[in-house]
Chains A and B, each alone.
Chain A
Amino acid sequence: MPPTTTSTRTRGAPQRLGDRVFSGASTGAGVLILVILAGVAAFLVAEAWPALWADSSEIPGGDGIILYIWPVLFGTLLSAFFALVIATPLAVAIALFITHYAPRRIASLLGYLIDLLAAVPSIIFGLWGAFELAPMTVEPTRWLEDNLGFIPLFDGPASPTGRTMLVATIVLAVMILPIATAVIREAFLQTPRLHEEASLALGATRWEMIRMAVLPFGRSSIIGGLMLGLGRALGETMAVAIVLSASRDVVSFNLISSENPSTIAANIALSFPEASGLDVNTLIASGLVLFAVTLLVNMGARAVINRRRDFSGAN
């Protein structure tokens, strides 16, 4: 809750016209936020509705709405999950570096450099992934196929262009690093000095101090920050659309081949400009699924982060 103002108005006192107009306008703006969010849900449902009840054969692919959405939902979850796997250790390590290892004078500058990553538009990450990163991965993925091919993730055959799920997940990981790092960094900075000193006074090394005082204190923020990152990764559109060479109806854990499942967001971006009729409704239905998934993830993340805020406030 905002800690600032105390209401000076007593109940029943007459209000000035200006006050009434102003408070009404600002309340209206607040309510508008809820209306917009409800509107997003309502209009998506309304537009998705025809696709939900349409005959299976009318849906692109001809197998019905569920079988249409399932492969792209799978691709969405797969790419976001592995992006999270890559980003998690990095985000924690970067936050630690900025808060506890880097010289204090340049710490905020380093934080700003990481924040700059968030400022790069996703279209640019897409072009970079397709032109720079993808070719770099061709050799390593071939090696992975040859030597670690027994793991289903590296089953191959390795893509000759490098425009694989692996590259998509790396690009996504880079894109979600800033938001995850920012939340975790904030929590690490708030670790009470008292607890850090308590462990140092016991004769802990810097790492032992971090393990005893900093990480436990930041645990829920780490989870919250990563879930926010997950939300971003699930909804990221252009980078995946450009980088990934996707085929319809692929459901596979193979990260390095040229046959990849698309993601919901990328599929919409690629198909929507040329879609018409029921195809549009189908795409909107898939967007509704994406909206629901990201909404759940984000609400969970916020709940986790807010709970920590209450906890530290109570201390």
Chain B
Amino acid sequence: MSTPTTSLDKGDRNDKGRAREEAAALLADMPLTHGSLPRRAAPLTLLAFVLAGIAAWQTGLLGAAFAGILTAVGYTAVIYLWARRVEGPRGAFDRLVTAVVSSAFALALLPLISVITTVVSNGAARFDADFFNNSMLGVVDEGGGAHHALMGTLIITGIAALMSVPVGLMTAIYLIEYGRGRLARWITFFVDVMTGIPSIVAGLFVYALFELFYGPGIRMGFMGSVALSVLMIPVVIRSAEEMLKLVPNELREASYALAVPKWRTILKVVLPTALAGIATGVTLAIARVIGETAPLLITVGITRGDNFDPFNERMATLSVFSYNQYAYAPGHARDLFYERAWSAALTLILIVMTLNLLARLIAKLFAPKTRA
């Protein structure tokens, strides 16, 4: 405190009063009421520009992309200049940012929409029973399918999940229930780092590992499973960790108070409480790796026919199948190969989206149990 109130002399007080008036004088006066755009000005202007954009696109005046860009830019400019006249620079800039930020979001949705429509429209041509019942054995151009690849994807991803879930779950349990001190900190940090390993590097690692035992040129489905596990484990750990953290401590303590040993508490109390959340996380982790291509390309390779033995020779997978149909399409039957590539892509995206929806569904249906 500089000066207690009681001893404050008159001069100081006047000084403070003057300071306030001078401050008011220096500040650009901002009246309470000032012009503002009519309430519906922004939405109506936007509507006008969107309609104009659609019209320009439909009449063939502009391409869809250009029409979209011009709509956004035009709206932003008009609303900014208008607001600047009526509301002043600060209000106008606020509107400018609003328009820019909203356009950015719309812009980000374009690739998503475009990807999905492209995959669906291109993939539909060969998305038929033949595609799911045949392999590529003996197929030169027409026909053929991805039965072998679909099975391969399921087998390889399934084995990967069987390996990743126990390891990931146990690690999460270690980090939440047991982990103390430096080791736990290191593991936490490196799990984060591991989520960033490029998938191709995981593939190279597995190849390098197996080459030591089997010699150069080794390919088998199981190698792909191991590579996918390297990618999947950190995802499982992270999501399981989050879920275990949500289990209230009171539950654990209640169990200890009943003289239940710690390991049984974890198995019988903690895990069941977090089960739905963990299932969601595992499903999302599977969705993340099931579409991987690069590590499978270099560890599993591709076959034309059925091979469902993951410990013996090359196998086909949907993603590599799709790439292979695209990359090795011969000139005379290019479109037939491309059609199969797109159908495999469509199958893949359907699987991934189904897994994502399934994860949401599990989370939603069992949500109350995780938040006791």
Contacts and interface: CB of A to CB of B under 8 A. Distances in A.
Interface of A: 1-9, 16, 18-19, 21-23, 25-34, 36-37, 39-40, 43-44, 46-47, 89-90, 93-94, 96-98, 101-102, 110, 113-114, 116-117, 119-128, 130-133, 136, 174, 177, 203, 205-208, 210, 228, 231-232, 234-238, 241-242, 265, 268-269, 272-273, 276-277, 280, 283-284, 287, 290-291, 294-295, 297-299, 301-302, 306
B101 A96 contact: yes
Given A269-B294, A280-B216, A43 B261 contact: no
Interface pairs A-B: 10 shortest CB-CB: A235-B198, A121-B291, A29-B170, A93-B104, A298-B196, A22-B263, A26-B174, A237-B294, A43-B208, A205-B94
Interface stretch (B132-140, B143-151, B242-250): B242-250
Contacts of B293: 121-123, 237-238, 269
A124 B170 contact: no
B77 interface: no
Contacts of A27: 174, 178, 183
Given A2-B179, A90-B108, A235-B197, A120 B170 contact: no
Contact of B104 (A9, A21, A90, A299): A90
B208 A284 contact: yes
A21 B266 CA distance: 13
B66 to A, nearest CB: 9
B51 interface: no
Q: Which of B115, B208, B230, B252 has the most CB of A within 10 A?
A: B208
A21 B263 contact: yes
B361 interface: no
Interface in B280-300: 287-288, 290-294, 297-298
Interface string B150-186: 0000000000000000111111011111111001111
A116 B183 contact: no
A281 to B, nearest CB: 10
B105 interface: yes
Contacts of A234: 198
Contacts of A5: 176-177, 249, 252
A228 B196 contact: yes
Contacts of B63: 136
A1 B178 CA distance: 11
Given A2-B176, A5-B249, A272-B297, A97 B112 contact: no
A193 B348 CA distance: 42
Given A16-B261, A30-B175, A207 B201 contact: no
Contacts of A19: 261-263
B122 A131 contact: yes
Given A18-B263, A33-B171, A290-B201, A177 B108 contact: yes
Given A7-B180, A280-B216, 15 more contacts: A3-B245, A4-B249, A8-B262, A26-B173, A29-B169, A29-B171, A33-B187, A39-B209, A113-B109, A120-B115, A130-B326, A269-B298, A272-B298, A298-B195, A302-B189
Q: Which of A113, A238, A283 has the most CB of B within 10 A?
A: A238
Contacts of A302: 189, 192-193
Nearest to A121: B291
A131 B117 CA distance: 13
A8 B256 contact: yes
Contacts of B225: none
B345 A97 contact: no
Contacts of B234: 33
A94 B212 CA distance: 47
Contacts of B330: none
B204 interface: yes
A43 B205 contact: yes
A130 B198 CA distance: 22
B352 interface: yes
8 contacts: A7-B180, A27-B178, A94-B104, A120-B291, A122-B294, A207-B98, A235-B199, A241-B294
A117 B171 contact: no
A26 B178 contact: yes
Interface string B209-227: 1011000110000000000
A294 B183 contact: no
A268 B202 CA distance: 12
Contacts of A98: 105
B179 A30 contact: yes
B291 A122 contact: yes
A123 B322 contact: yes
Contact of B291 (A40, A123, A177): A123
B102 A97 contact: yes
B119 interface: yes
B114 interface: yes
A39 B197 CA distance: 13
Contacts of B233: 33, 36
B127 interface: no
Nearest to A26: B174
A94 B111 CA distance: 14
Given A33-B190, A34-B190, A122-B291, A117 B112 contact: yes
B183 A30 contact: yes
A153 to B, nearest CB: 20
